[in-house]
Amino acid sequence: MGELLALCYIGGIAEVALISGISHVLFPELAALSYDIFKRPQGKWASAPLLLVLTPFLAAVVGLWLQHQWGYGPLSLGLGISAALFFIKVLRSPIAPAISAGVLPIALDDGSWWYAGAVLFSTSLLALGSVLRQKFQKNAHPPLPPPSQADRIDDEVECPATQYHWLPYFIVFLAIAMGLVLFSGWRFILYPPLVVIAYEMFAHADVCPWARKPVLLVLACLLTASSGLGIFLLLGHGPLAVILSMGVSIALIRFFDLHAPPATAVGLLPFVIDHPDWRFPLAVALGTGLLSLIFRQYKLRHRSLAHPPAQG
């Protein structure tokens, strides 16, 4: 039921984007947010409707301002990510996909202020749906079962970071990825949902579900990107194409037993990129592969510090 509601929601948003001509109404991270919120109505994201609206909106406004000031580049990206992390910290917000909201207008090099309004509209509609879903579940018979172990892990992953020993590795990843972007010209090596994936991966390394399966993460993101691109090229921007793309993404992460909601956002990126082509899925694979390699080094270093070799 939760997955069906998420698909209906994303299809409705796609219809609004098509009718209004404002493609940014279909903010790709809505896939991850709606998937988790409707599937887990008692989860951290679903339980914070005000922050669900406020955090992405603030990040989007700052991202737009940075795009107007400096366009696309390391400075604007770094400041956009930093601002989103600042809002998450100050507001104690669990809405990590807000990072992507701040990065997306810079990555697309699109400074239209309609984007901030579109993010506000889409997340407000999702927050309303979340509240109504929770009210329905409270009156449901039988009532919701107690949270499972997987639910508790998801809640922990969605909590704001409390320690920052991982931050240097996160910065190194961003710096190398940005260097590859500047060298290759493939802007979506550092695609916006990847920053969210990396943040949750580093900040909650011990419990993050996809942190334990880095190779499958690369494969899943490559396939969701490829399927999203293929569906877009075949069917265009319509709601059916968007629903199908998100449905395939959900099917892929379920097939790989990889609970990674941010990966569902990857398949929607072709619907907001200008003239996406075969380079998009390759860039996604390169960026995700780089993240997996650097995260592996972080885990090895973290393990060696936690368990130093015996002396003598």
DSSP-derived 3-state class of residue 264: helix
**Any residues with CB less than 8 A from the CB of 52 and at least 6 apart, and which?**
33, 37, 45, 95, 123, 126, 127, 130
130's tokens: 């979340």
Return the top range by mean pLDDT from 10-19, 33-42, 216-225, 294-303.
216-225
Q: Which amino acid is at 287?
A: G
Identify the pLDDT of residue 151: 59
CA distances from 182 to 72, 217, 297, 305 (A): 10, 24, 24, 34
Q: Find the mean pLDDT for residues 14-36.
A: 86
Identify the pLDDT of residue 155: 64
pLDDT in tens, 63-101: 999 999 999 999 999 999 999 999 999 999 999 999 999
DSSP-derived 3-state class of residue 219: helix
Identify the pLDDT of residue 22: 77
CA distances from 208 to 24, 32, 212, 225 (A): 29, 15, 7, 22
- In terms of phi and psi (left: phi > 0; alpha: psi -120 to 50; beta: otherwise), the region of 236 is left
Residue carrying the six token digits 């942190």: 211
Return the top range by mean pLDDT from 48-62, 110-124, 138-152, 197-211.
48-62
Model confidence at 148, pLDDT cuts 50, 70, 90, reads: low
Identify the pLDDT of residue 43: 84
Rg, Å, the chain Cα set? 19
Model confidence at 31, pLDDT cuts 50, 70, 90, reads: very high
- Is the whole-model pTM more than 0.85? yes
Of all residues in the chain, what percent carry a pLDDT higher than 90? 60
